[in-house]
Amino acid sequence: MGNSVDTSNYVSALNTAAPLIAKDSHIQKNQTRKTENTKVKKQKTFLDTILDSNIQESEESYYEKKLEGLNPEERKKAVDDILAVLQDEVYSSGANLAENVNEETINKYKKAVKSFVNFALQHSLNVKAVTSGGLNPLKQRNYVIVKVIDEKIDKLTQELLFNQLEKLQILAKLDEIKGLLVNLTT
């Protein structure tokens, strides 16, 4: 009986340490997964950025090619149709953003709004620079005259932006927060 070893201390130490070891290994696995997911997401967003810019350029050139060679009446109808498609894209991406706020839906929404506004501005406004004031360069004034070509397109753009105002304000706040985070890291 003098040769018996008291193992109760060892057992209690193992019982105490086992959950800590399991917790540490679980934390390490989660950190490894997060790191791997972050790497995959970064690569994916870089690829998406490249693809999105190519898609956006191809969409814009596609719309412009669609308008080439049309008489003014057909061109106006085609512009209205394209604007309707772009407006639907803004509304659907806005609905997706409202349901699921993440970086991908935010970028898709920004892209849709940008495409709509750029196309509408290209086909509804005519900008003209005018210099007045005579020959004296000190008295000359430069003016920019913006002439609305198509009131309907201008009104549609205003309505769309007004209807999407809440989402645009959210995006502005997100961009502001992102800028503050960048300032903190630099």
Those residues with Cβ within 8 angstroms of residue 83's Cβ, 6 or more apart along the chain or in another chain: 116, 119, 120, 123, 153, 156
Higher pLDDT, 158 or 156: 158
Average pLDDT, the chain: 69
Predicted confidence at residue 129, as pLDDT, reads 78
Confidence of residue 51 (pLDDT cuts 50, 70, 90): very low
**CB neighbourhood size of 78 (10 A):** 15
Predicted confidence at residue 50, as pLDDT, reads 44
The pLDDT of 162-184, averaged and rounded, is 76
d(CA 119, CA 123): 6
Whether residue 52 contacts residue 107, with contact meaning beta carbons closer than 8 Å, is answered with yes
Which uninterrupted H or E stretch holds 181? Answer: helix 165-185
pTM reported for the whole predicted model: 0.48
The pLDDT of 3-12, averaged and rounded, is 49
Higher pLDDT, 122 or 44: 122
Instruction: List pLDDT tens digits, range 73-130.
Output: 888 888 888 888 888 888 888 888 878 878 888 888 888 888 888 888 787 766 677 8
Instruction: List pLDDT tens digits, range 101-111.
Output: 788 888 888 88
Those residues with Cβ within 8 angstroms of residue 92's Cβ, 6 or more apart along the chain or in another chain: 112
